[in-house]
Structure 1
Amino acid sequence: MGKVVIEQMGFSYPGKPKLFEGLDLTLASGQVVGLLGKNGAGKSSFLQILAGLLFPNDGQLSVFGYIPEQRSPAFLQEVFFVPDENFLPEHLSAQAYQLILQPFYPRFDRETFTRLLDRFEVNSQEKIKNLSFGQQKKVGLAMALSSGCALILLDEPTNGLDISSKSAFRKELISVLSEDQTVVIATHLIRDLENTLDRVMILDQGQIKLDADLSDLADSLHFGFSQSEVSDAIFSQSSALGVQFIQERTTQAQTVVNLELLFEGVTAGVPIASFLSKTNSLTV
């Protein structure tokens, strides 16, 4: 489908300080990307800009060659946005809304939608207003994963889900997506996404402070735990149980990327990108 390209983008709400300034980013297809940031960092706003619901003040933004704020039909049929709050019409059932929505998305897979509702244990005949917040969230996620859209934007998708539902979502996300789809997930619930992401972006102070593939992070960094401080640690964090740390990887065995520790390091100002084995130009 092409790329998402952002060049020197700036954005602010009226009368507010700049939320983003000079932001550059390129997203190619075929990845699940985690957008991590503190509350108020602009994660939700970023997704809404990609969806064409908010408009940049400065710079250029192109999604598959379309300008999102123009909201052209060709653009809209390739982007599915699931906000954190409920966006579904409460007077309809999930099945009834699916019948209305399906014609707008040429590659919508009705069988996948039905299977996902079963997997998520949601009654497709029940009116949405009678569903819990978590069940409403699962209906939205089922629609997104069934849409066939080239770009799927999910804002806090695991918020309101119980443990089993979070596990089901992670498994279905991996199994349903095709190579020409890109998913951007904005979240502060970092542990919910472990073993799901291909790429992580950390948004802080109006900039993307780190943009890296998880494979590159695992190749370049060693994540460990010790009872005492580690002298050559890039970043460390103490707790009652000991010290979690990040080292530059040399001869150590490869470890799983600790996303929470990575996030804490980046937002504390540690230049993690400078330790990566591959040049990170914010372009994939």
Structure 2
Amino acid sequence: MIDIENLDFGYSQKSILLENLNLRLNVGHIYGLLGKNGIGKSTLLKNIAGLAFPISGNCKMNGMPTFKRKPSFLQKLFFIPEEIHMPSVTSKVFVNRTAHFYPNFDRDYFYKLLNDFDVEAENNLNKLSFGQQKKMMIAFGLATNTSVLIMDEPTNGLDIPSKVQFRKVISSALSGDRCIIISTHQVRDLDSLIDTVIVLHEKKIILNSSIDDIGEKLLFSPFSKSNKDKLIYQEDNAIGNNTISLNINENYNKVDMELLFNAIIHDSNAILQSLN
């Protein structure tokens, strides 16, 4: 589906953001791309969408270099950036002018999502709040039914009820012929939504693993006494501590993605060795 091979990228030769990246993304998955602010998550997404060009290496979708942005490629991918700028038209006008670029666009589904998100279709888009604009673009992106949907920080600007609704619609939108990639630094917003975690750290992809694999190999627990000798990471809080330890009994448990991310940033080697 999407193949990234030995990709190097920088806005200048002296400032490399991404170095020797290798990554394969397949349909039927919701990928969560995690990383600290400014680490290059948006840049990686722009390379996948063909909006940025690697210094070396390749980024391809179905064997086609993404930077060429051929019409057959653009019809199969929709990208929602973190910052959006809406025209002075209504959602209905926007759809009438834009939807025909996407052969599988579903108008009924689009208006249903607008209703679910409590966005008025008759209001001018540039007059909507940032959160309302974001929900409109999420609805449009889902309704395109492209095989690849990329969202960069989609929950920024959304209130708590909208975040709950966002998780519901994204979960229902996944199909066996669709790949969804979501980048965020608000890790809790992707909790129970994604099935594969990708972590970008220090110019490289250091983790690309399914939630199931992580849950089988690592134990996330508020207590550490029973697994003190298997302890990998501990984080103190107001009521005690949260820990990650080896899951010696291989009993599946819920992955705490925020704790996992903090552990990786603190000491990536300890986590990665445990997952190998």
- TM normalised by structure 2 equals 0.95
Are 2:226 and 1:241 equivalent residues in the alignment?
no
Alpha carbons 1:227, 1:241 under 8 Å: kept: no
Are 2:59 and 1:53 equivalent residues in the alignment?
no
Distance 1:94 1:275 in 2: 49
Distance 1:237 1:266 in 2: 12
- Whichever structure has more helix as a proportion of its residues is 2
The farther-off stretch of 141-150 and 174-183 is 174-183
Secondary structure of residue in 1 paired with 2:12: coil
Alpha carbons 1:200, 1:214 under 8 Å: kept: yes
Could you tell me which residue of structure 2 aligns to residue 258 of structure 1?
256
Secondary structure of residue in 1 paired with 2:158: coil
Secondary structure of residue in 2 paired with 1:20: strand
Distance 1:137 1:231 in 2: 46
Are 2:140 and 1:143 equivalent residues in the alignment?
yes
Shift of 1:269: 2.5
The farther-off stretch of 234-243 and 16-25 is 234-243
Are 2:127 and 1:117 equivalent residues in the alignment?
no
Could you tell me which residue of structure 2 aligns to residue 96 of structure 1?
93
AA aligned opposite 1:85: E
AA aligned opposite 1:220: K
Could you tell me which residue of structure 2 aligns to residue 197 of structure 1?
194
1:51-87 CA deviation, whole Å, 9 max, x = no partner? 1111000111111221111110000001100011113
- TM normalised by structure 1 equals 0.93
After superposing on structure 2, the runs of 4+ consecutive aligned residues of structure 1 that deviate more than 6 Å are: none
Picking from 21, 24, 38, the partner of 2:22 is 24
Distance 1:155 1:61 in 2: 18
Distance 1:43 1:148 in 2: 24
The equivalences for 1:1-284 within 5 A come to 3-14=1-12, 16-89=14-87, 91-226=88-223, 230-251=228-249, 253-271=251-269, 272-276=271-275
Aligned residues: 274
AA aligned opposite 1:211: N
1:22-77 CA deviation, whole Å, 9 max, x = no partner? 11001111100000000011011111111111100011111122111111000000
Shift of 1:227: 7.6
Distance 1:146 1:16 in 2: 41
Distance 2:250 2:209 in 1: 20
Change (3 A) 1:227 1:30: closer
Distance 2:202 2:251 in 1: 34
Secondary structure of residue in 2 paired with 1:99: helix
AA aligned opposite 1:254: Y
AA aligned opposite 1:181: R
Secondary structure of residue in 2 paired with 1:230: helix
Q: Over aligned residues, Cα RMSD in angstroms?
A: 1.5
Distance 2:14 2:111 in 1: 43
Distance 2:223 2:134 in 1: 39
What percentage of aligned pairs have identical amino acids? Answer: 38
1:183-202 CA deviation, whole Å, 9 max, x = no partner? 11010010011110010001
Alpha carbons 1:235, 1:270 under 8 Å: kept: no
